[in-house]
Structure 1
Amino acid sequence: MTTAKTVSGRRPENLLLGAGLTTLAFFCVALVGALAKVTGQYTSTGVLLLFQNFVGLLFLIPVAVRGGWSFVRTDRFGLHVLRAGAGTACWYCLFFAITVIPLANATLLTYSAPLWMPLIAWMVSRQRISALTLIGAGVGFIGVMFVLQPQGKSFGAGELSALAGAVLLAVAMMSVRWLGATEPMARLLFYYFLLSTVMALPIAVVDWQPFPKETWMWLGALGFAQVLSQALIVLAYRYAPAEKVGPFIYSVIVFTAVIDWVVWRHSPTLLTYAGMVLVIGGGLIAIRAKSTAREPETVVEADP
């Protein structure tokens, strides 16, 4: 996910290593979706959501304790709540979508979020949208339409949920962009995992149902994959600027399509392939537009 934040004190640039770490981070994001699809056979979406965030919180609590009050103090708590709420709702939509439509389709539709960001930015600030950004968004939305009906099927709840997740993800990405101007990355992650765990807890309680003992292993793996994606993306931007490796965010679409094909035998149709190319291409055009506009350097986060 793309978020704006000025980076200082970075190590000497190593573009190859930065790109490799970024790609590995988004492979972990693809694993989160795949593990959620597997684990969802044994438990509810609410439980998946809770453990995805709770495991991350366990890793961040020692950091917060070590940092003390200066680490947790924030003047932008409301924006943290907005980010966590939008992100939690996004993941819920994605986890539901992958239970009824192919994993690759659900992920592609959800990760069309960058295409919605110019519209959200315009609604908030009435900031003029560049022609290149509009072209990129238009190309990407054509790809979305290809994926919505790849085999002439009717628009269903899974597709609607994934698209809702995309809009929510765009809101979460924009909120992190605003937070990134003043908040360090570790604090962003701490409040995200803390607030998302609190928000997911009542959903998990309502959705709770007994599950086999082996499900605990899958739930732990799901949470660990989420944490690992975060650690890798933070590490990646110590070695390379986001404007150069940011486009690797779209590798999650490719990884997910391969996993979906190998594990669940969902072979993408020609229209799905075309949709992938257009969504990725549209996103890259939009990224290029931002780079040309010389915006502040951005940091890409792997989760909402």
Structure 2
Amino acid sequence: MFEELKSFKIEKSIAGILLMIVHAAAMAALYVTAKNLTHVLHPHQVAFLYKFSILVAILPWCMHGGFKRNLRTSKIGVHVTRGTFSVMANLCFFYSLTAISVIDAAAITYLEHIIVVSIGIFYFKEHFTKAKIVLIACGFVGALFVTKPGFNEFNSKYFFIFLALIFWAVNNLSIKILGKTERGKAQLFYVMLIGSIFALPFAIQNWRPIKPEYIKYLALLALFHLIHVISFFKAFKFSDISAVMPFDYSRLVFTGLLGYLFLHEVPDKYSIIGYLLIMAGGLYLIKSETKRNAALKNQKVEEKN
């Protein structure tokens, strides 16, 4: 019986890891598809169509089981906040993709962890641990290697990626608040609805004709986003965060491969050093937090005994 339970737990862990890898591949494909679209459409238009295409795709799912039942909410203000900051992040990110390689952009997005950790330390008064110092230091130095200020002329589009990170961090705080009471369907519906409404004026201002061949890219954007969302959250249901989260860094590998195959982008040696530093800081934090949580669990067990 014990062996069967152990085998079942291992199988669930493998499933969680595979789902996290699927999430990473979907995110990489989303980045490359979005960049392809910014070559023919304005990035603000891409941001609107991205949100709107997902909204259209999820409507049948949201309607299933009763529209009112699924979307009833008492926190519309938080939904508006989340939707606004989410689309502001998309507007900035897609704009930056017009002049930055997809793998550089993907690497910089991992600095969101630094912002979240910093908010935890300075706002929520969390402990300043060695692992968090390593994360911040590696992330900062890694970002310098990726952006290369001083090595050549600084690309101002990186500024918009850093803005996107701040907006995504606020968006994540909103998700934590909504996650306590709101249904998943309601969260996804409102973030896409509000995001579409907010992005529409920016898109209209820079509207370009949409040719029939662009429709498939918009459909792919919606598909990759849904695959990312479903696989990401399912991975945590199958296994512990500490077991699956390191595999999220495979996103850089997938992005590099797809960027090379479809966009002919090749990172330089400085960027590669930056990627490795950013990954090292994140993986060290995950390992450290796993050990700390295990120690706290053991301490509680000992106290009970």
Instruction: Extract unaligned runs of 5+ from structure 2.
Output: 1-8, 298-305
Q: Distance in 1 between matches of 2:183 and 2:292?
A: 25
The 5 Å alignment of 1:75-90 reads 75-90=74-89
Q: CA deviation at 1:236?
A: 2.8
Secondary structure at the aligned position of 1:127 is classed as: coil
1:166 corresponds in structure 2 to 165
Q: Which of 4, 24, 35 is 2:33 aligned to?
A: 35
| C-alpha spacing 1:92/1:142, structure 2 compared with 1 (3 Å) | same
1:216 corresponds in structure 2 to 215
- Residue 112 of structure 2 contacts residue 168 of structure 2 at CA under 8 Å; is this kept in 1? yes
Q: Distance in 2 between matches of 1:137 and 1:289?
A: 14
Q: CA deviation at 1:151?
A: 8.6
Q: Distance in 1 between matches of 2:122 and 2:69?
A: 34
Q: Compare the two structures and name the one with the higher helix fraction.
A: 2
1:275 corresponds in structure 2 to 274
Q: Distance in 2 between matches of 1:183 and 1:129?
A: 31
Q: Which of 39, 52, 55 is 1:54 aligned to?
A: 52
The 5 Å alignment of 1:98-247 reads 98-149=97-148, 152-247=151-246
Paired letter, 1:39: L
Q: CA deviation at 1:279?
A: 0.6
Q: Distance in 1 between matches of 2:157 and 2:38?
A: 15
Q: Distance in 2 between matches of 1:113 and 1:291?
A: 20
| C-alpha spacing 1:268/1:224, structure 2 compared with 1 (3 Å) | same
The 5 Å alignment of 1:17-28 reads 17-28=15-26
Paired letter, 2:20: T
- Residue 57 of structure 2 contacts residue 222 of structure 2 at CA under 8 Å; is this kept in 1? no
Identity, in percent, stands at 23
Q: Distance in 2 between matches of 1:171 and 1:15?
A: 30
Normalising by the residue count of structure 2, what TM-score does the alignment of the two structures yield? 0.85
Structure having the higher Rg: 2
For 1:249-289, what per-residue CA distance to the aligned partner results, in whole angstroms no more than 9, with x for missing partners?
A: 22222211222223333221221111111111111222334
Misfit runs of 4+, over 4 Å: none
Q: CA deviation at 1:290?
A: 3.7
Q: CA deviation at 1:150?
A: 7.8
For 1:174-213, what per-residue CA distance to the aligned partner results, in whole angstroms no more than 9, with x for missing partners?
A: 3223332333333322222222122222222222122432
Q: CA deviation at 1:134?
A: 1.9
- Of 224-233 and 95-104, more deviation after overlay is shown by 224-233
Paired letter, 2:124: S
Q: Distance in 1 between matches of 2:52 and 2:59?
A: 10
- Residue 89 of structure 2 contacts residue 165 of structure 2 at CA under 8 Å; is this kept in 1? yes
Normalising by the residue count of structure 1, what TM-score does the alignment of the two structures yield? 0.85
Paired letter, 1:115: I
Secondary structure at the aligned position of 1:125 is classed as: coil
Q: Distance in 1 between matches of 2:276 and 2:89?
A: 23
For 1:68-112, what per-residue CA distance to the aligned partner results, in whole angstroms no more than 9, with x for missing partners?
A: 433222233222222222221112111111111212112211232
Q: CA deviation at 1:292?
A: 4.1
1:6 corresponds in structure 2 to none
- Residue 94 of structure 1 contacts residue 107 of structure 1 at CA under 8 Å; is this kept in 2? no
Q: Distance in 2 between matches of 1:137 and 1:44?
A: 34
2:286 corresponds in structure 1 to 287
Q: Distance in 2 between matches of 1:122 and 1:182?
A: 25
Q: Distance in 2 between matches of 1:261 and 1:89?
A: 28
